[in-house]
Chain A
Amino acid sequence: MNQGFGFLDDLAVREIRRGLLKALAIPGYQVPYASREMPVARGFGTGGLQISLAIALPRDRLKVIDQGADDSVNAVALRRFIEASCPGLETTTRTVEATLIQTRHRIPEQPLSPGQVMVYQVPYPDPLQIVEPSESRRRRCHAHGDYARLWVRLYEDMVRFNEVAISNRYPARVAGRYVIDPSPIPRFDVLKLHQSPVAHLFGAGREKKLYAVPPYTDVEPLAFSDVPFAVEPFRDATGARRTCARCGAADTYLDELPQVGAASRWQCNDLDRCAERLGYPGDSDHDEHHAGP
């Protein structure tokens, strides 16, 4: 097979790929797997890393994002590690150029296209964890499609806050069956999973679980029939939609940057999307932007 390519031994690659096939075949189902020791501490994206290493091919172009940025320490370290252990593989920061995108927290703002693969680093794979501490009971709930207690959580949020207060890890039902925890992506991104043209592969290294949303699959955030699911509104005091202070976009997920002695600045969280809108001015200082063809 790919002897010596991608750090993992053949057995590990085969097991992870097999697990991913099962995960794709049963959308949303959490497939247990033997998470390997990686030269990265658990909790720093080992689940996503193992998936990337198990499916990467020399012809892939990899993008790694952390909090929407390609240049955070964690993203850089993971990208460098994959690059070093996968000879021939290229890296990029541009979403449109990437074939394999490993991420934590965000789905890129630009629409994804068929052939790309999203890989997620997942801290807590089970949406029921917040309501049921016992894993064996959680598995029984999943088997029975019993998500009543998640719904009760939504109900309690409505009672207390008059809205569902889950900002990230918003539970979503995949293909009308299993409810997943879509990693720590914000509510803003959950709807991007619905009928997405790409495969979304989720890996939880510490919890030893794989799950997937195959391309063109229904993903439906849990919501009461009379309280529609809503994404973060990003509205200012006057009710107007905030725009990015750099590129002016009014349709992206924004970060609030507090300013000393002045009002907060709001700008795109997805730096590649922001740079793209600005026409990549001055060839951004990302250290690997040259990777593109």
Chain B
Amino acid sequence: MTGSCVLTVEDLAKHFVLHQQGRSIPGIRGVSFTVSAGRVTALAGPSGAGKSSILKCIHRTYLPEAGRILLDGHAGMVDLAHCEEREVLLARRHDLGFVTQFLHCLPRQPAVDVVAAPLVVRGVGSTEARERAVLALRRLDLPERLWDLPPATFSGGERQRVNLARGLVARPRLLLLDEPTASLDPQATDKAIEAIAGLAGEGVAILAIFHDPDLIDRLAQDVVRLTRPEEAPCAA
């Protein structure tokens, strides 16, 4: 499994049209790369190079404009740039994890259930799902007293660990990480890196953005370097 290509991005392009302001913002253009199973691939480049946009295009949170995003999913190859929304939702459920810097969750849900949610959605029994969630939270050193509380009241670092645990627990084919350790202290960062490396060791393909170049050196086997696109006038 390790080494096989899980994601192929070909000639991906995306820009944003702001109708109210009557202008367009450049995003990314002509981006191509692959992500392999069992390896951590880092997106590197200056701010504004479109690193987050690429992750969001893969997740279809942004609507890609051109190019192909081929994911080797549980049900075969899908082009996330063009497939139906329903197929994107299925890919998100089974193959695709996304850990952002922000945690969107239900107001009253305890942390352990937030983490277990991707498993429950996939049909894992609630007891087993909770057990696996607890393991992930322990691995990331989230204090046990917080497990049964809703993350809304947590600090940034605590929330980020819940978010990361949720991504880890799901063990998708492809995990997208957007600055997963940005608000963690060094000790927690070490734990997180250990967990991410462990996940890659289990065969998960990981595509990540790190805020700290040092982390790329520590974690990534592959690096995709991006440059800032030039400002283009609105086509319209």
A–B direct touch in complex (beta carbons closer than 8 A): no
